[in-house]
Structures are given as structure tokens and as C-alpha cells.
Amino acid sequence: MYDLAALREEFPVLSTCIYLDSAATSQTPRCAVEAMNAYFFEYAANHGRGAFRLARRTTEEYERTREHLGEFLGIPADHLVFSRNTTEAINLVARGICWEKGDEVVTTALEHHANLLPWLALRERGVRVKVVPQEGGYVQEGGIQEAVGRATRLVAVNHVTNVLGTVIPVEEYAQVAHDAGAAILVDAAQSIGHMPMPRTDLFDYLAIPGHKGLLGPQGTGALYIADPDTLAASCYGGGMVADVSHDQFTLLPCPARFEPGTPNIPGVIGLGPAIGLVKALGVGAIHRHEREVGERIHAGLSAMPGVTVYSPLGSTVISFNVAGMAPDFVAVLLDQKAGICVRSGMHCAQPLTQSLDPRGTVRASVGCYTTNDEADALVRAVGEIAREKATA
């Protein structure tokens, strides 16, 4: 059984507000905070750099999270590189591929800036970027197949869109990319921890957030690299080398070669038990719960005069607008009237969001800890705001 009351005990902050911005970042459970406290208060040292007891324990705990994440995703832990966030994971790929002039990246009109700007920035090196159009939050039928060709080096797509919550058939696109001899990168920022994943070993690169569906602390993420030899290191320094002289250096294998410098040790150590919590709840159960709450919000807002809902039914990321009101103003009112935290504006996906409304949207997103009562409170508060606007 999905014990929501017990789960919410893990997140004390939830008693102070109605948090509906989990698509941006999740609240952090006690078990993660306690693991970070233990690191700071009991054994803090640097990772992989010491023979003394504290340093050994730090390295063990840090590497334990890598093992957990690998097990959780069904991929080998030594193909997982820790990063600050999803954005950095994607940039590791953009900077690590040895691009040639004329190479092409195929992406879609549904992407977060994190999965668009790194590719656009490559254009000055002669890389071409093709953006496949979208329709109603989905990639245009046959669009990827049509866009992928002999020059395509990489297909870069998100799995669940952060504006509309629509699910993209990334397994099918992996096949299309591989049939054309191209690689595929999947931005899993909105899916991992929220829903059962397709077989992750189908992808060449998987950009993983630690601080969203996995409930880890902010400043955590990872990149899965199927074949580490396809990427060069793009940041250099200590901890990544086997041998150094003044003329040359030999790099360590993955993951060390992609993790120079002192990483976010407490964050990664906190991420381990957070993944444990997600595992204990079960992603299938989390998905069912989040969908139920999402559908409640969707039904309530869709039936409301003066409110436009952009996300399809079944989504757990619900974008909407109140007629005649700026999204930011609606977000401020929701906070003032009912302590409801929602995102407003472009959601770092300006092309997609502006295609819905040039001013952006209000976005309510559900987490594993969101209740039906919170969904109802949002619907009531939006209803009040819409009525006040209509009668003003």
C-alpha cells in the first residue's frame, strides 16, 4: 500500500506549504539530510584521495551511491559519472564528442534549454542542428525518422516534457538513431524516479537528475555513458589521472576521467538513501499515485470557466493559464492566498512555452508526496482567482 501519511513524515517542509513545483526540484527526505549530516559531523574528508580512515569511509559512501544508482537503473555503476545536475550531464556529451564539420544533431521542439543550447552552441564549430517540430506536446508523426540521415551523429530528446508532461517514445527513437548509425542521448530529467523507465541500456547517453524524481539533494545528477570511449574528457585536473609528467598525462578509466576535482560529496552521499526511499516506494506505485493526483488537478482546472489547460489528461506536469492574467501574477496570488508553490513563466523551454502563450504559463507539478487534498486546494484557489478576475 502507498502510505502517503508515513511518506510525508520524511519531508517536514510539506507541513508549511503546498509544494507543487517538483518538476523544478523535489523536496529532500530526512534520510538524505541525515546521511549528509552524518558525513559532515562524523567523517567528512575528500573522495578517493586519502589512506586515512575518514577518507576511506567518504570514498566508500560516495561509491555506494554509484552502485545504488546503477542497480536502480539496471546499468553498470562504472558507466555512471556524477554531475552537478542534468544540464551538466548533457554538456559533458556536447563537449566530449569529437565533432566534425557537417555533423548533425537532431533534436525536437519540445526540449528544455538544457537539451537545446548545448547543441546550438556547437554550430560555430560547423555542426548542424535540426529541430523536429511538435504538435500538441508530441513530436510530429514521422518527424524523427524524416530528420535522421547519414550526417546525423546524435539524436538528443527528452523523455517527458517539462512544460506539458507528455511522454516521448524514446525507445522507438533509439532504434531510428541506431539504424542510421547515430547515437542517442535521452534527457530523463522528468522521468527517472517518477515512472518505470524503458531499458536504459538502449541509450548511448542518459542524463539523470539527482534532485528531482530520485529525491536527492540539489547539486546532484549523473550521466550514463554506454561506451566511455565515445567521449573525451572536457575538464581537467586532479583525481582523473593515472600518471603525469611535465610533458604528458595518462587518464584513468571512466568514471574517474570525467570527475576531476572535489565533487559534491555530501550531495552524492545524500542521494544514496533517497534512491533507497524511491525503490522502497516502487516507481510503479509512485507513477500510479502521481497520475491520480495529476488527473484530479487536470479535471478540476479543465472544468473551470476562464482557465485554459494545455497539458493532456494523464500528465503530472500541468500547464495552464487564467484568462487575462499574467502567469507570474497568478503564481504570486496562489502563494499569498493559499501557500501554494507553483512555477510560472517560460519553464526554461521558451520556444515550446511561447507556442502555448507568449506570456508563458502557470505550471503545477506533482511529486510522490502530493496529496489529493493539495490538488483540491489548488483547484479551489485557481477557481477563486478566475472568478475574482471575471467579476473585476
Q: What angle do CA 91, 95, 101 make, to 5 degrees?
A: 130
Give the CA distances from residue 217 to residues 211, 212, 334, in Å, rounded to whole numbers and listed in that order: 5, 9, 26
The total of other beta-carbon atoms located within 10 Å of residue 245's CB is 7
Three-state SS at 368: coil
Nearest distance from residue 45's CB to ligand PMP, in Å?
27
- The C-alpha cell that represents 354 in the structure block: 511561447
- Cα separation, 251 vs 237, in Å, equals 10
Query: Smaller CB distance to ligand PMP: residue 212 or 289?
Result: 212
Shortest Å, Cβ 206 to ligand PMP:
12
Give the residue with the Cβ less far from ligand PMP, 58 or 311: 311
Other CB atoms within a 10 A radius of the CB of residue 376 amount to: 14
Q: State the residues that interact with ligand PMP by CB under 6 A.
A: 23-24, 85-87, 112, 114-115, 158, 162, 187, 189-190, 209, 221, 348
The grid coordinates of residue 61 equal 559512501
Q: Which is nearer to ligand PMP, 189 or 386 (CB)?
A: 189
> Rounded to an integer, what distance in angstroms lies between the CA atom of residue 314 and that of residue 303?
15
Long-range interactions of 234-240: CB distance < 8 A, separation 24+: 234/91, 234/92, 234/95, 234/96, 235/260, 235/261, 236/260, 237/261, 238/49, 239/47, 239/48, 239/49
Cβ nearer to ligand PMP, comparing 27 with 87: 87
Closest contact distance (angstroms) between CB of 1 and ligand PMP is 30
Catalytic residue among 235, 254, 348, 368: 348
The least distance separating ligand PMP from the CB of residue 114, rounded to whole angstroms, comes to 4
Least Å distance between CB 207 and ligand PMP? 7
**Contact call for residues 217 and 270 (beta carbons, < 8 A):** yes
254 is catalytic: no
* Alpha-carbon distances, residue 47 vs 193, 264, 269, 274, 276 (angstroms): 26, 10, 11, 20, 22
Q: Least distance in Å: CB of 3 to ligand PMP?
A: 28
Task: Report the residue number, 87 or 321, with the smaller CB distance to ligand PMP.
Answer: 87
Of 203 and 383, which has the nearer Cβ to ligand PMP? 203
Per-position b or e across 270-279, b if 16+ CB within 10 A of its CB:
bbbbbbbbbe
Percent helix / strand / coil, the chain, rounded to 5? 45, 20, 40
Q: Which residues are catalytic?
A: 348
